């Protein structure tokens, strides 16, 4: 707690302002903010001046020039990992520990646990591996004394704490590289709906999006992310998540012939199929119709769009979905059994996996009972 007080004082002395909120430790979440008084909608609770940001431009040239081509996440991690300046010491002292990162981030989990991740988290994990290994190749070639473990820890510290940032200096930069670290603002935890975060030439303002009672946790939203995404990228899942969905590609794509897959590809309807709360996405509704209607009519449908009303094919589509989703229910039950049978990994890691598969099972049964009641 002392480290957090020092960190907060350090940030306030550098122009960050807090109004009506203070840091607090939450079980299972690390630090976050709570409201010290009742806050009305639209109140600015935190301001962070541009001068406190860490971006690709604030990394000393002695580091960035030596490393060369690297992701911004990778560059910020390299600077943080090698920073001994003392300037950022109070911030570093309040960051989650290496152990906390290793326990929560699936990248660090035992491979037997990783194998039991839902497919959407697994594919994000594969992308992380590629990105990290390319960043590490660039950093280790330039700074051979830096250890891999230290770098990986800082890579995930950066990955779990950056904000979207763009400036006039940043041209030709891809969306994933528009990143800034904002000490103290990075203490906000995530909720599916949270405070509004805006950037202006003076800095970042964080404003309440609703009335918040004294003592309530006050969150921002890291984006409209599903629980599979939050798990892979941030190491947690939400109990209530209005953006939650499961990816259906692995069960929908095998339903099509080679020729139909080509047709889907040409129409840009091949993949990114999802089930959220109790509906399948528009892409799924359209794609599955290719299995029920003549190709010419399907092309017409793609060009003109599917109306809001159910069409003559809906019952067929529902039946196909029902048959395709059924085996996933067994997969979810099987995964829970496999998690329970594991003799490795932490209790908290197994609990998060078990809960996620239960959520997936519930999403499926809710949707399937809706389909059944339609027939």
Ligand X SMILES: C[S@@+](CC[C@H](N)C(=O)[O-])C[C@H]1O[C@@H](n2cnc3c(N)ncnc32)[C@H](O)[C@@H]1O
Kindly tell me which of 5 and 262 has the beta carbon lying closer to ligand X: 5
Comparison of 238 and 320: residue with beta carbon closer to ligand X: 238
Name the minimum Å distance from CB 328 to ligand X: 26
Residue 228 as a binder of ligand X (CB under 6 A): the answer is no
Q: Using the 8-state DSSP alphabet, how is residue 70 labeled?
A: -
Least spacing, CB of residue 192 vs ligand X, in Å: 9
Binding range to ligand X, per CB under 6 A, among 26-34, 239-247, 277-285, 287-295: 26-34
State the nearest-atom distance from the C-beta of 125 to ligand X, in Å. Answer: 15
- Smallest distance from the beta carbon of 81 to ligand X, in angstroms? 17
Chain residues 178-207 in contact with ligand X, contact rule CB under 6 A: 186-187, 189-190
C-beta neighbour count of 123 within 10 angstroms: 16
**How many chain residues bind ligand X (CB under 6 A)?**
17
Q: Is 30 in the site for ligand X (CB under 6 A)?
A: yes
Tokens in use for 43?
């109140």
Q: How far apart are CA 94 and CA 92, in angstroms?
A: 5
- Candidates 108-116, 233-241, 329-337, 355-363: pick the segment binding ligand X (CB under 6 A): 233-241
E strands in 201-339: 203-207, 217-218, 220, 245-247, 274-276, 279-280
Phi/psi of residue 218, nearest 5 degrees = -120, 120
Tell me if 24 sits within 8 A of 43, measured CB to CB.
no
29 binds ligand X (CB under 6 A): yes
d(CA 41, CA 128): 37
Applying CB under 6 A, does 96 fall inside the site for ligand X?
Answer: yes
Please state the closest distance from residue 249 (CB atom) to ligand X, in A.
26
Shortest-Cβ-distance residue relative to ligand X: 30
Q: Residue 160, interface with ligand X (CB under 6 A)?
A: yes
| Binding string, residues 104-123; x marks residues near ligand X by CB under 6 A | x-------------------
Cβ atoms 98, 153 nearer than 8 A: yes
Which position among 236, 299, 306, 354 is part of the footprint of ligand X (CB under 6 A)? 236
Task: Yes or no: say if 255 and 287 are a contact pair by the CB < 8 Å rule.
Answer: no
Paired tokens of 25: 């430790």
From residue 334, alpha-carbon distances to 127, 327, 331 in Å are: 26, 11, 5
Report the distance separating Cα 81 and Cα 147, nearest Å. 9
Kindly state the smallest distance separating residue 187's Cβ from ligand X, in Å. Answer: 5
Which residue's structure tokens are 């473990």?
149
Closer to ligand X by Cβ: residue 31 or 269: 31
Q: CB neighbours of 323 closer than 8 A, spacing ≥ 6?
A: none
* Site membership for ligand X, residue 49 (CB under 6 A): no
Query: 3-state DSSP call for residue 193?
Result: strand
Q: What distances in angstroms separate CA 364 from CA 40, 120, 228, 251, one per listed residue?
A: 38, 16, 15, 13
Give residue for tokens 């860490």. Answer: 54
Binding residue for ligand X (CB under 6 A) from 90, 203, 235, 345? 235
- Cβ distance to ligand X smaller for residue 161 or 289: 161
Query: Applying CB under 6 A, which residues contact ligand X?
Result: 28-32, 96, 104, 160-161, 186-187, 189-190, 234-236, 238
């Amino acid at each position: 707690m002392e480290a957090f007080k020092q960190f907060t004082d350090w940030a306030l002395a550098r122009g960050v302002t807090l109004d009506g909120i203070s840091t607090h430790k939450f079980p299972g979440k690390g630090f976050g903010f709570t409201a010290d008084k009742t806050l009305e909608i639209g109140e600015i609770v935190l301001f962070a001046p541009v001068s406190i940001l860490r971006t690709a431009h604030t990394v000393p040239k002695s580091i960035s020039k030596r490393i060369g081509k690297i992701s911004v996440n990778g560059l910020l991690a390299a600077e943080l990992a090698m920073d001994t300046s003392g300037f950022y010491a109070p911030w570093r002292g309040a960051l989650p520990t290496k152990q906390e990162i290793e326990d929560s981030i699936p990248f660090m989990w035992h491979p037997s646990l990783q194998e039991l991740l839902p497919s959407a988290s697994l594919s994000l994990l594969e992308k992380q591996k590629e990105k990290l290994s390319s960043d590490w190749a660039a950093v280790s070639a330039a700074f051979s004394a830096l250890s891999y473990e230290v770098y990986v820890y800082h890579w995930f510290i950066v990955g779990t704490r950056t904000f979207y940032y763009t400036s006039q200096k940043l041209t030709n930069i891809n969306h994933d590289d528009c990143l800034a670290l904002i000490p103290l603002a990075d203490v906000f935890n995530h909720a599916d709906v949270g405070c509004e975060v805006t950037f202006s030439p003076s800095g970042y303002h964080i404003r309440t999006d609703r009335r918040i009672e004294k003592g309530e946790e006050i969150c921002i939203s890291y984006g409209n992310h599903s629980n599979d995404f939050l798990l892979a990228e941030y190491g947690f899942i939400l109990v209530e998540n209005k953006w939650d969905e499961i990816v259906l590609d692995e069960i929908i794509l095998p339903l099509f012939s080679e020729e139909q897959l080509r047709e889907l590809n040409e129409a840009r309807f091949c993949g990114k199929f999802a089930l959220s709360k109790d509906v399948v996405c528009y892409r799924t509704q359209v794609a599955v119709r290719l299995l029920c209607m003549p190709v010419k009519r399907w092309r017409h449908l793609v060009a003109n769009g599917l109306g809001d009303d159910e069409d003559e094919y809906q019952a067929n589509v529902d039946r196909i979905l029902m048959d395709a989703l059924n085996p996933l229910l067994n997969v979810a039950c099987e995964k829970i059994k496999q998690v329970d049978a594991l003799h490795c990994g932490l209790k908290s890691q197994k609990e998060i996996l078990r809960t996620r598969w239960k959520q997936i099972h519930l999403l499926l049964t809710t949707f399937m009972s809706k389909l059944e009641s339609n027939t």
